[in-house]
Amino acid sequence: MNGGIVQGWQDTPAVELHNGQSSDDTASFADIYGGAIIGGKSVDGVGGDAFYVHGFGTKANIFGGLFMGGIGQDDNMEGLSIIVQNFASVHIYSGSFQGEMEVGKGSNIIFYGCFLQYGATITGEFVDGTQLGVVVKTKNDGKVSLIAVSEQVCDTQPSMQPTGFPTISPRPTPSVSYGKMMRPSLVSASILLTVLLAGLS
């Protein structure tokens, strides 16, 4: 998907990606780069979910787009922006998400960028600068993974570089003492240059 708008009908998911069999061999796959997926509006219940991914081996890669949970009977956004269940996975590289997410049985939602997790709340920034703030509920051994990438410098998250050990060592960042900031000395630089020239002569 790379554009357009898909809206669900009432309390049903707008887009459903699934594997109806109990084998990875029949898994479904999708790449989403843009467009909008919006859960249906319900007049007498909970709004519909935007993107429902489920089933063995089913996988979605999200590189952009808008995912919005549906509006419920009280005009509140009650539908989920993303729901992942039954051994599926969603890999999120960018995008805008309005409405909570849920990850269930044996499934995983993976965020790529600089992120922090406080309880169920994920905040941070994707590589392209898009900001994220979303609540992800986990059920039945569902997992949330936060993965830093080498193209982005993260102050708080592990990185693939420069250590070469993925998701173990945090990327070093310059420390600044706000009590006393050191500045280069022209006198020291002049003395060093004199010593170097003397050694070459």
Question: Using one digit for the tens of pLDDT, what is the confidence trace for 1-47?
Answer: 877 888 787 778 899 998 877 778 888 999 999 999 999 887 777 88
What integer is the mean pLDDT of 81-101?
96
Taking the C-alpha atoms of residue 106 and residue 133, their distance in angstroms, rounded to an integer, is: 24
Taking the C-alpha atoms of residue 172 and residue 182, their distance in angstroms, rounded to an integer, is: 19
Taking the C-alpha atoms of residue 147 and residue 168, their distance in angstroms, rounded to an integer, is: 11
The per-residue pLDDT for range 154-180, each reduced to its tens digit, is 875 443 444 333 333 333 333 333 333
H/E stretch holding 194 reads helix 186-200
Contact residues for 67 (Cβ-Cβ < 8 A; gap 6+)? 36, 37, 50, 51, 81, 82, 95, 96, 97, 98, 99
More confident residue, 8 or 119: 119
Least confident among 72-81, 101-110, 147-156, 181-190: 181-190
- Residue 36 buriedness (CB in 10 A; 0-12 / 13-18 / 19+): middle
More confident residue, 115 or 173: 115
DSSP 8-state code for residue 26: G
**Is there a contact between 59 and 19 (Cβ–Cβ < 8 Å)?**
no
pLDDT value of residue 145: 96
pLDDT value of residue 43: 73
pLDDT value of residue 184: 38
